[in-house]
């Protein structure tokens, strides 16, 4: 691989959004980047697959940065957004049907949602108005453009100025949970308290995450990209390869090679050794640290994170191809049952069904519909399941999922043409993500700060991707790729190029 007459070479482990971003900025800044991807297609968890003409999308429902801000810049720079990309901003975020407390809507338009909440709970008008105003203000808080360690005083000053009044909210609730925020604002209405607790109160969900998520949507800065995950990944791959980047599919890395505390290359599963000037891990963080680097160069901060920080619970996704045009009450429906119901071995009280064919024609043939059902299922249930036991569990899920779907859409069973089930084992098999935690570490009041991109004592190596940032997701993953190349360019005392 090495060519002394060529630009410095970078090996990037993983072809998900972080690896693709890293590769694009590397090519723009004069490096020769090669992405090593264990799967046969780009995107990592930004993926979708087709079964009998129906497309089942694993990832993209909404994307921060579709209209403005630092993330928006990154999407244009990486090709995720282009002149032909259509952004859809839904009026309604989700309709919730609770067997005990009735229906509840979350609207993306905060003016509409505020009026809806006040009508439901007039006794909480003051608390509702304060909360919704915090959400509106949250869109003013943008992300830093430059990597940690490369920011000046002026960058921090600009951050303070742009945040405006939301800075006070950040100081007051930055380390609070959503439940603590709701309690502090003094909500009283029982139905409202129930929905806040059910949807945002569990697992110490961050108050900032709650406020900013709905603030972005209100500002039309968290829309859906028509075409979904597959089309977005394809656009970014074309950008990377158009810049001269190399993509090697079906290349699984098993070891990061180190000499004299310097990363010099990688070893593949088939024994092949590839060398380069830099190695950047854009794959699963736990795999890179504990397997590829054999737990060497492991700082206490990172070890503590993987030992103690909570993870997102894995998901089971059932895709239905329906031989009919189905119009749902809302494109995104969440159901909360009075009692848990067994879906296979998983007790399920909450589940969701998306009708993505209502707003994007790529998901089903004309006159037909793709429905996606999803619920959480703990990794411990799946970790050691193999062979016949695994197949039997998928069959049990199939039967139970059809029964649930029939409850919501009577008569639909006879119209099902295709069923596809993706389990936590599926996610791990195709992406390598640790314990099936699709977005890494769960953000909470005690888990907000990111992990370092560089490992003390190991040169010419960096990590990028969602495992560096509690809450994970596509935007910080892509941003970390940009930051990695900023750091390399700074080390070599060159000017960073984005276009």
pLDDT at 5: 39
CA-wise closest residue to 404 among 364, 323, 350, 324? 350
Which tokens sit at 138?
């949250």
Q: Is the dihedral of CA 131, 135, 140, 142 positive or negative?
A: positive
How many degrees, rounded to 5, is the angle at CA 143 between CA 140 and CA 148? 150
What is the spatial distance between Cα 286 and Cα 477, in angstroms, rounded to a whole number?
16
Residuewise pLDDT in 10s, the chain (499 residues): 444 335 899 999 999 999 999 999 999 999 999 999 999 999 999 999 999 999 999 999 999 999 999 999 999 999 999 999 999 999 999 999 999 999 999 999 999 999 999 999 999 999 999 999 999 999 999 989 999 999 999 988 888 888 888 999 999 998 888 999 999 999 999 999 988 888 775 657 889 889 999 999 999 999 999 999 999 999 999 999 999 999 999 999 999 999 999 999 999 999 999 999 999 999 999 999 999 999 999 999 999 999 999 899 999 999 999 999 999 999 999 999 999 999 999 999 999 999 999 999 999 999 999 999 999 999 999 999 999 999 999 999 999 999 999 999 999 999 999 999 999 999 999 999 999 999 999 887 666 678 999 999 999 999 999 999 988 899 999 999 999 999 999 999 999 999 8
Q: How buried is residue 89: exposed, middle or buried, by Cβ count under 10 Å (0-12/13-18/19+)? A: middle
User: Which residue in the block uniquely carries the two structure tokens 């890179």?
Assistant: 288
Question: Would you list the domain boundaries of the chain?
Answer: 9-82+225-310+440-491, 111-219, 315-434
Which tokens sit at 283?
């794959």
Fold type of domain 9-82+225-310+440-491: FAD/NAD(P)-binding domain (3.50.50)
pLDDT at 448: 65
**In the beta sheet, which residues pair with residue 416?**
322
How do residues 327-347 score in pLDDT, each as one tens digit?
999 999 999 999 999 999 999
What is the spatial distance between Cα 461 and Cα 280, in angstroms, rounded to a whole number?
6
**For 323-368, where are the E strands, in sequence order?**
332-343, 346-355
How do residues 83-129 score in pLDDT, each as one tens digit?
999 999 999 999 999 999 999 999 999 999 999 999 999 999 999 99
In DSSP notation, 8-19 reads PEEEEE--BHHH
Q: Are 121 and 193 in contact (CB under 8 A)?
A: no
pLDDT at 161: 87
Which tokens sit at 414?
């006879």
The residues, any chain, with a CB within 8 Å of residue 113's CB and separated by 6 or more, are 105, 106, 107, 132, 214
Q: Are 38 and 17 in contact (CB under 8 A)?
A: no
What is the spatial distance between Cα 190 and Cα 101, in angstroms, rounded to a whole number?
9
pLDDT at 201: 59
Residue 160, Cα to own-chain centre: how many angstroms? 27
Q: Is 405 left (phi over 0), alpha (psi -120 to 50) or beta?
A: alpha
The residues, any chain, with a CB within 8 Å of residue 182's CB and separated by 6 or more, are 193, 196, 197, 201
**For 68-180, where are the E strands, in sequence order?**
87-88, 92-98, 102-107
- Fill in the DSSP letter of residue 270: T
Number of continuous H segments (helices) and E segments (strands) in the chain: 16, 19
Average pLDDT taken over every residue of the chain: 94
pLDDT at 2: 42
What is the spatial distance between Cα 466 and Cα 447, in angstroms, rounded to a whole number?
14
pLDDT at 35: 98
Which tokens sit at 331?
């494109």
Q: How buried is residue 301: exposed, middle or buried, by Cβ count under 10 Å (0-12/13-18/19+)? A: exposed
């Amino acid at each position: 691989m090495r060519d002394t007459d060529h630009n410095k070479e970078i090996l990037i482990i993983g072809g998900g959004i972080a690896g693709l971003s890293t590769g694009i900025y590397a090519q723009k800044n004069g490096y020769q980047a090669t992405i090593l991807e264990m799967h046969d297609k780009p995107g990592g968890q930004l993926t979708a697959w087709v079964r009998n003409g129906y497309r089942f999308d694993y990832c993209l429902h909404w994307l921060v940065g579709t209209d403005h801000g630092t993330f928006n810049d990154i999407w244009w720079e990486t090709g995720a957004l282009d002149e032909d990309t259509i952004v859809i901003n839904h009026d309604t975020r989700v309709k919730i049907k609770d067997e005990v407390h009735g229906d509840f809507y979350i609207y993306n338009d905060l003016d509409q949602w505020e009026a809806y909440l006040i009508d439901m709970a007039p006794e909480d008008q003051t608390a509702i108005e304060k909360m919704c105003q915090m959400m509106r203000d949250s869109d003013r808080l943008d992300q830093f453009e430059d990597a940690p360690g490369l920011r000046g005083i002026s960058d921090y000053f600009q951050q303070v100025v742009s945040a405006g009044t939301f800075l006070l909210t950040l100081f007051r609730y930055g380390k609070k949970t959503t439940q603590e925020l709701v309690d502090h604002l003094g909500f009283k209405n029982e139905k409202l308290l129930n929905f806040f607790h059910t949807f945002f109160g569990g697992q110490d969900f961050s108050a900032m995450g709650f406020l900013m998520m709905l603030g972005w949507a209100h500002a039309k800065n968290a829309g859906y990209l028509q075409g979904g995950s597959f089309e977005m990944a394809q656009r970014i791959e074309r950008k990377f390869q158009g810049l001269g980047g190399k993509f090697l599919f079906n290349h699984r890395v098993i070891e990061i090679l180190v000499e004299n505390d310097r990363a010099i290359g990688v070893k593949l599963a088939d024994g092949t050794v590839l060398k380069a000037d830099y190695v950047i891990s854009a794959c699963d963080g736990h795999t890179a640290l504990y397997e590829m680097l054999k737990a060497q160069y492991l700082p206490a901060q990172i070890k503590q994170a993987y030992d103690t920080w909570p993870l997102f619970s894995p998901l089971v996704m059932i895709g239905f191809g329906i031989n009919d045009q189905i119009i749902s009450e809302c494109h995104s429906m969440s159901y909360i049952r009075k009692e848990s119901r067994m879906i296979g071995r998983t007790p399920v009280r909450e589940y969701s069904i998306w009708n993505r064919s209502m707003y994007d024609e790529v998901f089903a043939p004309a006159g037909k519909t793709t429905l996606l059902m999803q619920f959480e299922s703990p990794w411990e249930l799946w970790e050691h399941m193999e062979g016949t036991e695994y197949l039997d569990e998928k069959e049990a899920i199939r039967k139970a999922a059809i029964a649930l779907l029939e409850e919501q859409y009577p008569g639909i069973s006879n119209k099902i043409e295709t069923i596809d089930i993706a389990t936590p084992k599926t996610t791990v098999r195709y992406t390598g993500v640790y314990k099936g935690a699709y977005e890494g570490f769960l953000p909470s009041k005690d888990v907000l700060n990111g992990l370092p991109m560089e490992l003390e004592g190991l040169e010419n190596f960096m990590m990028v991707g969602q495992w560096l940032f509690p809450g994970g997701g596509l935007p910080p993953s892509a941003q970390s790729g940009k930051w990695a190349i900023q750091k390399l360019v700074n080390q070599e005392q060159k000017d960073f190029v984005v276009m």
